[in-house]
Chains A and B, each alone.
Chain A
Amino acid sequence: MSSTKAAKGRDAKTPAEHVPHPLLPFLQSQSQNTLTRLYQRPSACLSIFRLLGPLERQLVMNLLWLESAIPSLTMAAWVTPEGKILYDSSLLVLSRLHIVTNLLNPATKQSPKLNLNTTFKTSFRQAITGGGTSGSFGVPAAKDDKHPSSGVEALDAFAVERWETILHYMVSSGTGQVLAKPSAGVLYLLQRSRLMATSHGSALQITSAGFQFLLHSPHDQLWQLLLQYLHMAEERQMDLVEVLSFLFMLSTMDLGRVRNCNVEYSAESLSDTQKAMLEDLRDYGLIWQRKASSRRFSPTRLSTTLTSSLPPLPTSASTGTGTQDQGFIVLETNYRLYAYTDNPLQTAVLNLFAALKYRFQNLVVGAVTRDSVRKALANGITADQIISYLAAHAHPQMRKNNPLIPVTVQDQIRLWELERNRLKSEEGYLYTAFASQADYEYVLNYAKQLGVVVWESPAKRCFFGSLEGHANIRGFIERRTGGGGGG
């Protein structure tokens, strides 16, 4: 079963499991000029460094303090045979990000030399050793005695409230409930990322991508939205470097490390673009400001965990016991599901794929049924997403089980998914009644070259071609019959 395979993989800790961070492809698509400007900021270097894979990070570290380029053969000699593939792909990622320069000198025919991008090297060294005048880690605001800064709990509560408003709005958009609406900026973002859509001017409705989104981890959700934000920033003529470096600055800021009260940062030193971002990020719950015009801001846990794998929303405000990071779902082999939560959002998400029966103060009881799963599948959620959501939020008590999710339930959910796909359809044309076998093969070969043959039967001397190939095939036959006079 796939679950045992996954468990084995975890034990072996095969590095191939590392999934590249969603931001990296976006960065790779940027021009070298943009990246070099970004690398001028130590905080950006540190954050990007943290988004890299483990081997990539080590390679950067190995190169960081070297003054001159080293032959890549020398570096490769450190790699074990098992690590070769990963090493090569790591170097590729680094050179695509323009972090490592792979100096190939065809004239001298020497082996290529590895070096860090000079800008990156300078800034990252500065990040490690401190100092400099870049101010890229955020300028702390002077103590404000009139308004003592709010505690970490208040910030967490704010972030959770903002974030859950967004998710709750999405999940309940189909049910007709009237809920607190997120701001227009957020709604636009949701629409642009195709998580929600309007049909014929009606109210926003959640899309199948949106349903899938709801089952992701908060960290993935956050980055998915931020990536969309970055794409939009390009259209809005915002300077991408400013936008990115502000996000990275936030991710290196401090939350509650000092005496459990947050440091407030001054907005004065921000660029105009970044000041404009304050409002957007406030709507997403990434930063907190006393009031919109305030000249200081505090990052919330959502932003300070951007480059880590810590849960961005450690404790939900409404679940006092912090069940969110603990996991709250117990699923039995008889398909019964017990969810220890009083969080309406979690209940609503469960309702996407489970039939809920009873609700108590801190407990929701339901069952995974054929109908409930089919409803979820119809919404575009896949069986794997349901299973991985259940696994990610499993109650500690359930984690004793191996495999985590009862095999019966897992298999059944997958079977229900397969059941929906008993009938596959493809529109096109059936070509039949060929005069001769040679004719048939001649046309069939042409269609195969086009790659449009869906089904063929030499015995019946007919084949089925997809719709898009029809014009070409008809033209082909007409040319032939016109020219050769046969058929």
Chain B
Amino acid sequence: MKAIKGILLTCDSAVKQILLTMNEKESFIIEDLDDFHLVIKADEEYRVRRELETELEKNTYSLEG
């Protein structure tokens, strides 16, 4: 039995796919639990959120943009 410190991310499957792609560049996922849950390294959360944000922004379109 072992205990691993980390952060549990709950997300929809689309976001999870983006996270998996991001993980290929720079690994941060400890465990891929199921379709909606991932455990990542505790100190990576901020960076992951920021990168995810930029990634999602690419998919939104505005009149001005």
Contacts and interface: CB of A to CB of B under 8 A. Distances in A.
The answer to whether A and B belong to the same complex is yes
Nearest to B11: A423
Contacts of A454: 8
A370 interface: yes
Given A423-B9, A464-B39, A432 B2 contact: yes
Interface in B23-60: 30-31, 33-34, 37, 39, 42, 45, 49, 52, 56, 60
A28 interface: no
Contacts of A423: 9-11, 15, 49, 52
A464 B11 contact: no
A290 interface: no
A429 B10 contact: no
A432 B11 contact: no
A430 B62 contact: no
Interface string A54-71: 000000000000000000
Given A369-B62, A423-B49, A477-B1, A428 B8 contact: yes
Interface band, chain B? 20 to 34
Interface in A428-454: 428-435, 439, 443, 454
Contacts of B42: 427
Name, among A422, A427, A477, the residue most crowded by chain B CB atoms within 10 Å (CB to CB): A422
A371 interface: yes
A345 B10 CA distance: 40
Nearest to A431: B3
Name, among A423, A424, A430, the residue most crowded by chain B CB atoms within 10 Å (CB to CB): A423
B7 interface: yes
Contacts of B31: 430, 432, 462
Name, among A425, A435, A457, the residue most crowded by chain B CB atoms within 10 Å (CB to CB): A425
A487 interface: yes
Given A423-B49, A457-B34, A430 B1 contact: no
B10 A424 contact: yes
A455 B8 contact: yes
Nearest to B3: A429
B8 A464 contact: yes
Interface residues of A, number: 30
Given A371-B62, A457-B33, A460-B33, A427 B7 contact: yes
A432 B33 CA distance: 11
B7 A424 contact: no
Contacts of B45: 425
B19 to A, nearest CB: 9
A434 B1 contact: yes
B7 A426 contact: yes
A423 B15 CA distance: 8
B10 to A, nearest CB: 4
Contacts of B5: 428-429
Interface string A450-481: 00001101001010100000100110010000
Contacts of B62: 369-371
B4 A429 contact: yes
A377 B38 CA distance: 26
11 contacts: A422-B12, A425-B9, A427-B6, A427-B42, A428-B5, A430-B6, A431-B2, A457-B34, A464-B8, A470-B3, A477-B1
Interface of B: 1-12, 15, 30-31, 33-34, 37, 39, 42, 45, 49, 52, 56, 60, 62
Given A425-B49, A430-B39, 4 more contacts: A427-B42, A431-B1, A432-B3, A432-B4
The 3 A-B residue pairs with the shortest CB-CB distance in the complex, in nearest-first order:
A424-B10, A429-B3, A430-B4
